[in-house]
Every structure is written in C-alpha cells, then in structure tokens.
Chains A and B, each alone.
Chain A
Amino acid sequence: MAKRRIAYYLMTIPALLLFFAFHTFPALQGIFYSFTNWDGFSDGYSFVGLKNFINVFKDENVYNAYFFTFKYAIAATILINVISLLIALGLNAKIKAKNFFRSVYFLPNVLGVLIVGYIFNYLFSNAFTIWGEKLGSGFLSQNILGNPDWAWVGIVIVGVWQGIAYNTILYLAGLQTIPADLYEASSLDGASKWREFWSITFPMLAPFFTINMVLAMKGGLMIFDQIVALTGGGPGRSTQSIAHLIYTGGFTGGEFAYQSANAVIYFIVIVAISLFQIKVLQRREMDL
C-alpha cells in the first residue's frame, strides 16, 4: 500500500515542481519586480514601493490601452455571440449541404491568428478600398486601419471573422441537445417562430451562452496577435491593447518593473471580470 502511495506522489511531484518553477515562480517574480524600478537589463534595482502602481493609474497610455481593449472585447463578444448564434440556427435548420457549410464556418478556427491578420491587413489597404472607390465614398475608399477613429472597427471585423467559428460550433452542439418534442409541443400550441426562440431555444442554450460569453470576453481582453499583424498599435496608440503595451514597454521600452505593475493590475481585472461574468450569467441561467 505504501508503494502505491509513493507511486502517486512520484507521478505528481515532478509536475508540481515544474509548474511552480515556470508558472508560479515567474508570476511571483513579476509581482516582486512591480515594487522595484528594474528596467529589465541593468544589474541593480531598488525598491520603490507603490510608485509604479500610482504611475500606472496616472499613465495616459495605460488608460488608452484599457479603453481600446474593453471597447474591442465588448464589441467583439457581442457580435461574435449574436452572429454565431444566427449561423448555428441556420446550420441546425433543414438546409442543403449542411456538413459542407459547417466545415466552411469552422475553418477560420484552425488558421493562425497572425497570418489571418496579415491577409486582412492587405485586404483593408488594397481590396476593400477599391470597393469604396466604386461606391464613390470618400470614407470607404481609405484604409480603415489608417484612421485613428475607425481602426479599432477593422480589428473587430477580423476578430469576429475568426471568432465566430468556435462559438458557432458550440451553439450548434447546444441546439442539438434540445429535445425535438419541445418544438412539436409548441407548434401544436400555435406558437410563432419568434416566440419559440425566446421561450424554448434561448433558455435551453443558457449554459452554452455562459461559456461562449466568458470565452469570447477573455479572448478579447487578451488580444495581441491581431494588433501585431494589423496595426502595431497605431495609428498613434489608438489600437494598442493592454497585452501589446505590456509587451512593447516591457521588452523594448526598458519598463520591466513598470509594466509588471501594469500586468498585476491587468491580472486582477481579468479575474474580477471572469468571476463576475460567471456569477451573473449563472444566476440568469437559474432564473430561466
């Protein structure tokens, strides 16, 4: 029996040590450095207390990054969920070539985000502008990514194009768990399609709605690859996300300690939002 117990410990302790060394330890180090003034490459550093945190709260670039990231995450989450639910409803209806269309809609999920970003970068600058010119619209004939006020919309378009794939598949799986006799009963009662959706489909999908909202929001808040491929954070800093700010400031800007403080705050924000979302959405699930 003792031998069995030893075996179980041998199976887990290496994983525990490695995980601590390469995940928890760096996280603690990040928190540690956030109280210093280390630039990332010098030999020495000194403790500065909460100075980094205070400066983060005063930093216009940080506010700007949070504003963009939340704007992006909220817009993308809503659009992804609405559109993928519509597509899932369509794919679940009696349509021709169902499997073919399902494969098409899921395809973007397997493609690398960075490369998709580069492809769209070209389409925005060289293809969509041609359509804009044909329509005679001055606004549409310019590259949307070059416009500080509208570049974020371009990033949302790319995020949604790729993001709907995953959520569509989940909603489709959810739709298939709804028993058919529920619909038969409602059609006998003479309920309209609209009524049927809100009274049967939507409530039955609630758990899938929760997971899709949480995943899409989390993905949106972590956005990085699209920014690198589409705008590099520009024009100016109009599309710089939090992750991108931490990356550029921390690695190339000599702001290791300062961006560590930014990352600590970012971590708290992400955890708070995830817990909040799960709580609120689960309560809704129960009410339904």
Chain B
Amino acid sequence: MRKNTNWPATALIALGSILILFPLYMTVGIALKNPEEMAQSIFSLPTGLHFENFSNAIKATDFFHALQNSAVITIVSVGCILLTNSLVSYAIARNMNRRFFKLLYLYFVSAMFIPFQIIMLPVVKVTTALSMNNIPGLILLYIVYGLPFNVFVYVGYIRSIPLELEEAATVDGTSTWGTFWKIIFPLLGPISATIIILSSLSTWNDFLLPLILLADPSQYTLPLVQYVFQGQFSTDFNLAFASYLLALLPMIIVYLSAQKWIISGITQGAIK
C-alpha cells in the first residue's frame, strides 16, 4: 500500500526550510557584496562577486593561522579521546563486578551533571599555575572533559560485546593491552564514529574554554578570532561576513560530504 506524495506536507517543509536557509543566503550574499551594492539592497543577489572581501578577511584575521590552530586542537583532541577514553571504558566495562571500577564508572558518569560554570573560574587558576594556558593544555582538558559522556557511551557498547572473543585471545597468551588493541578496539568502529563526530563538532565550535584558557593571541581558534575582531568588523559588514563565512565553511564542507554519516552518528549518540 504505497501512498502518493503528500503535497501539503512537502509545501510546508519547503517553506520551513526557507527560514533555515535565509540567514545563510544573507551571509553568502553580504560576504560577496561591496558597500555600494549593500546601499542599494542588502537582500538582493550579489552582482559584482567581490571576492576581495575574502582575501581581506584572510589577511585581517590571519585566517589560515586560526584555521590551523582549530584543526590541530580538534584533530589531536579527538584522536586522543578515541584512543584513551575507549581504553578506560574497556577496563571499566570488564570489571564492573569490582567495587573500584564500579565506583569509577559512577564517578565519571555523575560528573555529566556538573555545569562547566562551577569549574570555570578555578580551572583557569589551576592551568595558569601549571603553565597550561595554551594549546596543549586546552587539548588535555578536552580529552579529560570528554570522559564522562564517552565512558558512559563506550561502557554500554563494550558490555554488549561477548566475552568469548577475548577469552580465546587470553588462552593464546595475548596480554590485556593486546586484547584491547587487536580485538576490542576494531569492534568499536560504529560507536567510535559517533564519538568522533560529536567530539569534533563540540571541540571545533567551542568558544568558552578557548576564551578563558588561551593567553597568547597567536593560539586563538576560529570562533575566538571572530570574537576578537568583532570590534574592528563593526564598520565593515562585508569584511565581517566574509570572515564568518570562512569560519563556517570548513564545517559546512565536512557536513555536506559526510552528512549521512554525521546524522546517523549523532542519532546513535543520543539514543544510547
């Protein structure tokens, strides 16, 4: 029983999607116009295609430098999260009958309730005292702060993997480490994909932690650079929007090329 296309629903969904796309259309349009075109109409399609806005924005904000900072922070953090948080979760998942590991699990998971604002002020004091108010320090914090959620998700997943697989390896004399890296870690693929997507998004787009932590402007991330240049942008909207678009573009490209993967990964993460 195949029903025909529901046209009213299609029309409403299409109308709604205009509301979603409109701000993005405006962003692209303004980024490509010059002040004279803006004076005529800010809504119309750009006529001149002023790509010099982009080259100016790249120069003004040192875009590629900030892009590199954001990329390094995201890639290293997410890579380390993947390797370390899964290992911790494995040890916990296989020892839930022991009090230490059970308590450790509860300790990590209950930390999900703690709002960042309560540690925000002291953590700056701690990291400054340890000379960690820089990119390596920021990466370490992302890895550590990922633990509550990731342990929760990974432990649930690992416990559903049958023990027999590991027992065979144990009989062969493989160490616990070897068992994890050779047998368990490869089996974590689907859930690791979810963790990669969620951590990449939150790290890449994070504003607050870099804002309070990074002391040296040359280490600023893309969102932080937009914040710093906001004052200078206020007179030149075309430059500002070119800069916003550049800052949004890497994530838009990643999203467009891997959207199916991203959407299903995020759904998995939330249902867990």
Q: Which residues on A are within 8 Å of B, measured CB to CB?
A: 3-4, 7-9, 11-12, 15-16, 18-19, 21-27, 29-30, 33, 40, 87, 89-91, 93-97, 101-116, 118-120, 122-123, 126-127, 130, 161, 166, 169-170, 173, 184, 211, 215, 221-222, 224-225, 228, 242-243, 246-247, 250-251, 256, 259-260, 263-264, 266-267, 270-271, 274
Report Cα–Cα, A59/B237, bound state, in Å: 39
Report Cα–Cα, A18/B111, bound state, in Å: 14
Report Cα–Cα, A170/B271, bound state, in Å: 8
B32 close to A (CB within 8 Å): no
**Which residues on B sit within 8 Å (CB–CB) of A215?**
270
Report Cα–Cα, A23/B142, bound state, in Å: 11
Q: Are A118 and B10 in contact (CB under 8 A)?
A: no
Report Cα–Cα, A29/B205, bound state, in Å: 28
Contact of A228 among B85, B121, B205, B227 (CB under 8 A): B227
Q: Are B117 and A242 in contact (CB under 8 A)?
A: yes
Residue of A nearest to B116 (CB): A222
**Which residues on B sit within 8 Å (CB–CB) of A106?**
259, 263
**Which residues on B sit within 8 Å (CB–CB) of A110?**
201, 205, 251-252, 254-255, 262
**Which residues on A sit within 8 Å (CB–CB) of B10?**
95-97
Give min CB distance, B204 to chain A, whole Å.
Answer: 8
Give min CB distance, A43 to chain B, whole Å.
Answer: 13
Once A and B bind, how many residue pairs between them come within 8 Å at the CB atom? 238
Q: Which residues on B are within 8 Å of A, measured CB to CB?
A: 1, 3-6, 9-10, 12-14, 16-17, 19-21, 23-24, 26-27, 30, 42-43, 84-85, 87-88, 90-92, 94-95, 100-101, 104, 107-108, 111, 113-127, 140-141, 144-145, 147, 175-177, 180, 201, 204-205, 207-208, 212, 222-223, 226-227, 230, 237, 240-241, 244, 247-248, 251-252, 254-256, 259, 262-263, 266-267, 270-271
**Which residues on B sit within 8 Å (CB–CB) of A266?**
115, 117-118
Q: Are B121 and A263 in contact (CB under 8 A)?
A: yes
With contacts A19-B144, A120-B23 taken as known, whether A101 is within 8 angstroms of B118 at the C-beta atoms is: no
Q: Are B20 and A11 in contact (CB under 8 A)?
A: no
**Which residues on A sit within 8 Å (CB–CB) of B212?**
247, 251
**Which residues on A sit within 8 Å (CB–CB) of B263?**
102-103, 106, 169
**Which residues on A sit within 8 Å (CB–CB) of B23?**
116, 119-120, 123, 161
Q: Are A7 and B120 in contact (CB under 8 A)?
A: no
Q: Are A263 and B117 in contact (CB under 8 A)?
A: yes
Q: Are A12 and B43 in contact (CB under 8 A)?
A: no
**Which residues on A sit within 8 Å (CB–CB) of B90?**
11
Contact of A96 among B5, B42, B144 (CB under 8 A): B5
With contacts A4-B176, A112-B205, A251-B212 taken as known, whether A94 is within 8 angstroms of B123 at the C-beta atoms is: no
Report Cα–Cα, A25/B122, bound state, in Å: 9
